[in-house]
Amino acid sequence: MDLSGRHLLSLKDYTPEEIRYLLDESKKFKADFKAYKRNRVLDGFTLGMIFQKKSTRTRVSTETAMFFLGGHALFLGQDDIQLGAGESIKDTARVLSRMVDGILARVYAHEDVDILSKNSSIPVINALSDKYHPLQILADLLTIEEHKGKLAGLKLAWVGDGNNVCNSLLIGCAKMGMNMSVATPKGYEPSEEIVELAKDIAEDNGVKIIISNDPVAVVTNADVVVTDTFVSMGEEAEAEKKLALFKKYVITKELVTNAKSNYIFMHCLPYKHKEATEEVFESENSVVFDEAENRLHTVMAVLASLMG
Ligand code: CP
Ligand code: NVA
């Protein structure tokens, strides 16, 4: 399958077959660690990485992946480049396109990755915007498949904030034939436009997307229980209000007794606001560090496929 030259702003632009291809490529990289060094498919390639927000997993996995693939990654923090001093996103895209072979960008407004992609002659990869986090969802799907042996037909329960990671999981689950139920406090549901899109895709694949405010109903009989921080980057001013509102949405041992006994617990990390209790986070059902490791294997597949 040839994905070279493609942007990755959201998984909604990828078919289930293309997502399957990226997951299978990730598995190949993971299975043969030494192949990282033989497969220098990005020898002589450079990736510009724009970060407007902090990152541990996305930055480290991508820089490491570029090194393993034989290429070079440039970390371009917002305040290290002229973007932070008023140069436009559009001009940044046009300049980088003349010098590097790919752009990865972590931005506040999703519109900014859109502008980057429209003004770049090279692939643009969304490394998290206010709307989507596609790289995370590839790692999540790989982790689920490794632990459950399949994706299709499973039930994933999301409890917490209807945020960027939730939006992306809705698309990823619907495309891969998984049922997804979401419980958020009132007013914090995922984007209506994305829910509608996910419901349409899910219907075609014979599965269901359910949006509710009831954590117990959502977790009941789930194979996978997922949450994320209650306070995303950029929402710090709302932290106190959100943490108070989200108290009933903390994933506790009692809540997960409603899930299947062999459920897995996932969280994209960082785990900052005790959105799950330590008991759940540290339990045998928790696969959060497998999920973090899979960021490396999946981004290898994305970089090799889109930039190679
Ligand atoms: N999960 C994730 O994207 O982590 P970072 O913010 O550390 O990159
Ligand atoms: N929802 C979180 C994800 C961090 C990886 C945020 O946007 O900050």
Q: What is the pTM of this model?
A: 0.97
pLDDT in tens, 53-89: 999 999 999 999 999 999 999 999 999 999 999 999 9
> Encoding tokens for residue 235?
């929402």
- Beta-sheet pairing, 179-183 with 224-227: unpaired
38-132 with 136-291: one CATH topology? yes
CA distances for 104 relative to 48, 72, 117, 297, angstroms: 6, 13, 10, 16
pLDDT at 297 over 70: yes
- The domain limits of the chain are 38-132, 136-291
pLDDT at 34 over 80: no
- Please work out whether the CB of residue 39 comes within 6 Å of at least one atom of ligand 1: no
How many Å lie between the centroid of ligand 2 and the Cα of residue 164? 7
User: Is 241 buried (19+), middle (13-18) or exposed (0-12) by CB count in 10 A?
Assistant: exposed
Predicted pLDDT at 272: 87
How many Å lie between the centroid of ligand 1 and the Cα of residue 61? 10
> Ligand 1: which atom is nearest the Cα of residue 56?
7
Q: Residue 102: beta bridge partners?
A: 47
pLDDT in tens, 263-276: 999 999 999 878 99
Active site residues: 106, 133, 136, 228, 268, 295
Band of the pLDDT at 36, cuts 50, 70, 90? low
The number of CA neighbours under 13 Å toward the Cβ of 173 is: 29
Residue range 136-291, CATH number? 3.40.50.1370
Band of the pLDDT at 33, cuts 50, 70, 90? confident
> Ligand 2: which atom is nearest the Cα of residue 234?
8
134-148 helix and 16-31 helix, angle to the nearest 10 degrees: 70
How many Å lie between the centroid of ligand 1 and the Cα of residue 105? 13
How many Å lie between the centroid of ligand 2 and the Cα of residue 130? 8
- Please work out whether the CB of residue 58 comes within 6 Å of at least one atom of ligand 1: yes
pLDDT in tens, 123-144: 999 999 999 999 999 999 999 9
Residue range 38-132, CATH number? 3.40.50.1370
- Please work out whether the CB of residue 269 comes within 6 Å of at least one atom of ligand 1: yes
pLDDT at 188 over 70: yes
